[in-house]
Amino acid sequence: MKKVALVFILAVILPSLVLAWLAVRSLRDQEFVLERQESLLYQGVADNLARDVQSALAEDLQQFRAKVTTLLGDQPPRTIARIFDERLRNEWPLAQVGFVVTLQGDVLSPSHPGRAEAQKFLMDNGRFLGNQESAEVYLDASSFANNSLFNKSQGPADNFRQNFASPANSPPAGAAAPSEKKESYAEYSKPQSRSYKDTLTRSVVPQNQGFNQQVETGNRAGSPAGMRERPAPQQQLLKSQSSLEAQQLEQPLSKLALTEGEFRQLIGEQTEGMLARFVDNKLSVLLWSRAPRDPSFVFGAQLDLTRLKEALTHLFKEDDGALRQEICVALLDDNARPVALSHPGFQANWKRPFVATEIGEALPHWEAAVYLLDPAKLARSAQSIRLTLGLLVGVLVLAIGVGSWLIVSDLNRQMVLARQKTDFVSNVSHELKTPLTSIRMFSELLAEGRIGDPEKQRSYLGIIAAETARLSRLINNVLDFTRSERGEKKYRFQTCDLAQLTREIAETCRPPLEASGFKFECEIPDLPCKVIGDRDALAQVLLNLLSNAEKYSVQNKEITVRLMARMWRQRAPNSGDWAEVSASAPGASEWEVQVLDRGSGVPAGCEEKIFEKFYRAHDSLSSGIQGSGLGLTLARQIAKAHLGDVTYAPREGGGSCFSLRLPRLPEPPATEIEKS
């Protein structure tokens, strides 16, 4: 048993405790896991908005190219250069200043620097555009040419991708110019499939289809080059103090590429493009496109950032979205000031977004940022998850403990039963061997004629008969018990006289008992005691009880068989007791046959165990008391099959009292007796 218990502890209890400890420890990581999932989801929102902004800028570049082509028409580039600034501003509201330069460094437009904007533009960019000085700019053609955002058919945006990717794809001289858009600036500014609702929808769908993998893949391959994720201080306010979590939440720094060179060196052989530079800490965004007929002329425009902000505001238009109740999306300029908001009036520390994605080199240090409307909600959700998992772990640990206790209890019971079965086999072998030895010995003596005394011959024959009866009773007990365990035991119920049956069994057992020195008394009424039962089965019960009394009465050899009636006496509405009455008393409801002895009795605590199969209070091999451990078990099974019971009670003055109780067969009414 100790070995089994040790194996059970090592194989079940110890691993269960380790798993419980690991589960409790993992609860501390639930807040980070939840925050990480939220971060991935909202990062997708920021990435999509950044792509939308770049898509809008790409369309602006295509519109500018179309305007240049339209303004040029069939005229020489030098002719239109003088009036390019004025005409471009009149026809394209996004242009703040239009300029024309040659690759040799001649600035042909703006030709009238009297306008304040034109004068400032020439002061800031004249030497740079004239190839007289180098400047640090943000220019990365591959960020647009290789962006998956432009790989799908999007009209002008697709043409922009093809033309910008390689000079070989530039339109030849005399090629037809793209059709000019007739929409007004207001019409152009209307969002088309780039609303806040659509952006949220595109971000929510991956969440239901393995968004972790898609978002991470998008960050590696599909995001516009130059996008970066700033450290998210709003996350740092919500996360736990774990250093490991802090390392995992740390975001990479900006990936914007800063290039230095003259204007002619920067544009190279490209047909069009966009560059941005900071002059006196103010952002200047320049679009440029070569003249189709004479690529040595470069037409460009400086964007009006105020109108650009108004145009981009529509990308963050208020609308019902799947995540609208959770987050606020903002477009931040290079000074971390909100340019557009999904929730007007929302206030936050704009420098501490939950997640953010840079727009790219076109708008350096501009970001699409996501802010939580309720930052404490994430902590509450994590706390709820910890509480739920804690309860589950507690319940599982409790279930493991209860299950372990049940398993150990059942294992102990099975081991006890196995020992009892082993003892049973030994006892039965001993029980079979003893009578067979006696039968063989006395039969051989009689067969060889060694016993000439007739009195001894009768005595030996009596011993053989008694041992044969005991052997038959033992075999019948084993067979009946086996049938009962398999549910194959069948009874032949009929009306029988319990008093007559008890008297016959007593008279059968009297000679061997008295021969063994027992004082045997019977107190059986002469009245019929009718019951419904199997006569042979009831006889077996009585024989087992008498045999049991005989075996355990070693010192005081005294056995009494008593038959009486019992009736229920009501003492209170819900209480009462059984009272012994005479067999002729009216109202008796059951019969009771008592077998009393003055033997050693039953040890304390074993009053019910003695009715369990294979159980013996005294082992036959060590105590010398013969028995198989099935007699009382079989007696109770038979009694219960007759709607009765076999019980034990200590006898006053020492000894035992075993009682067979059977329901009394009601007496027929007097009228029925007369008719019969």
Q: Is there a domain that residue 40 lies in?
A: yes
Higher pLDDT, 78 or 425: 78
Range 15-24 average pLDDT: 76
- Asked if the model's pLDDT at residue 129 lies above 90, the reply is yes
With a cut of 60, say whether residue 221 has pLDDT above it.
no
Quick one: pLDDT at residue 512?
84
Q: How many CB atoms lie within 10 A of CB 398?
A: 10
* Residue 353 banded pLDDT, cuts 50, 70, 90: very high
pLDDT of residue 380: 79
The predicted structure's pLDDT at residue 10: 76
Q: How far is CA 588 from CA 541, 552, 567, 601, in A?
A: 22, 32, 4, 30
Domain boundary among 314, 344, 373: 373
Range with lowest mean pLDDT among 33-42, 84-93, 314-323, 639-648? 314-323
Which domain CATH number covers 543? Answer: 3.30.565.10
Residue listed under structure tokens 């209070």 = 617
Q: 355, 373, 391: which is the final residue of a domain?
A: 373
Residue 628, pLDDT above cutoff 70 = no
Least confident of 138-147, 318-327, 341-350, 597-606: 138-147
What is the share, in percent, of the chain residues with pLDDT greater than 90? 30
Highest mean pLDDT: which range of 187-191, 548-552, 570-574, 672-676: 548-552
pLDDT at 273: 93
Residue 439 confidence (pLDDT) above 80: yes
Residue 574 confidence (pLDDT): 59
Give the residue-averaged pLDDT of 646-671: 83
Instruction: State residue 113 phi and psi, 5-degree precision.
Output: -75, 15
Same domain? For 102 and 226 the reply is: yes
Task: Read off the pLDDT of residues 583-626 as tens digits, 9 standing for 90 and up.
Answer: 666 667 889 999 999 988 888 888 888 888 777 666 544 455 65
In the listed set 357, 373, 389, which residue is the last one of a domain according to the structure?
A: 373
Q: How far is C-alpha 675 from the chain's CA centre?
A: 76
The residue segments making up the domain with residue 349 are 34-172+184-373
Pairing of strands 556-572, 590-598: antiparallel
Calculate the dihedral angle through the C-alpha atoms of 451, 452, 454, 456, rounding to the nearest 10 degrees.
Answer: -30
Mean pLDDT of 222-250: 42
Which of 208-222, 368-382, 551-565 has maximum average pLDDT?
551-565
My answer on whether 255 and 118 are in the same domain is yes
Task: Assess whether pLDDT exceeds 60 at residue 154.
Answer: no
Least confident piece of the model among 177-191, 313-327, 516-530, 547-561: 177-191
Residue 125 forms part of a structural domain:
yes
Confidence at 151, pLDDT banded by 50, 70, 90: very low
Quick check: is 555 in a domain? yes
CA atoms within 13 A on the CB side of 181: 20
Residue 318's pLDDT is: 55
Identity at 523, one-letter amino acid code? E
- 445: Cβ contacts below 8 Å, ≥ 6 apart: 451, 460
Same domain as 358, residue 212:
yes
What is the model's pLDDT at position 436? 81
Q: Tell me, yes or no, whether 427 lies in a domain.
A: no
Beta strands in 323-444 (DSSP E): 327-332, 338-341, 355-360, 363-372
Which parts of 291-440 are beta strand (E)? Answer: 297-303, 327-332, 338-341, 355-360, 363-372
- Would residue 154 count as lying in a domain? yes
For residue 93, the 8-state DSSP code is T
Q: What is the pTM of this model?
A: 0.48
Q: Please say whether the beta carbons of 131 and 262 come within 8 A.
A: yes
Are 81 and 206 members of one domain? yes
The answer to whether 235 touches 249, Cβ cutoff 8 Å, is yes
Task: Quick: pLDDT tens for 327-349.
Answer: 999 999 999 999 999 888 899 99
Per-residue pLDDT tens over the stretch 259-283: 999 999 999 889 999 999 999 999 9
pLDDT digits (tens, 9 = 90+) for 181-219: 333 333 333 333 333 334 444 444 333 333 333 333 333
Q: How many structural domains does the chain have?
A: 2
Question: For residues 213 and 630, which has the higher predicted lDDT (pLDDT)?
Answer: 630
Where residue 320 falls among pLDDT bands split at 50, 70, 90? low
Q: Would you say residue 422 lies in a domain? A: no
> Would residue 53 count as lying in a domain?
yes
Span 49-67, average pLDDT = 93
Same domain, yes or no, for 369 and 493?
no
| Structural domain includes residue 470 | no
Report d(CA 65, CA 592) in Å as an integer.
Answer: 116
CA distance 258 to 134: 13
Q: Are residues 271 and 137 in the same domain?
A: yes
**CA 590, 596, 599 angle in degrees (round to 5)?**
150
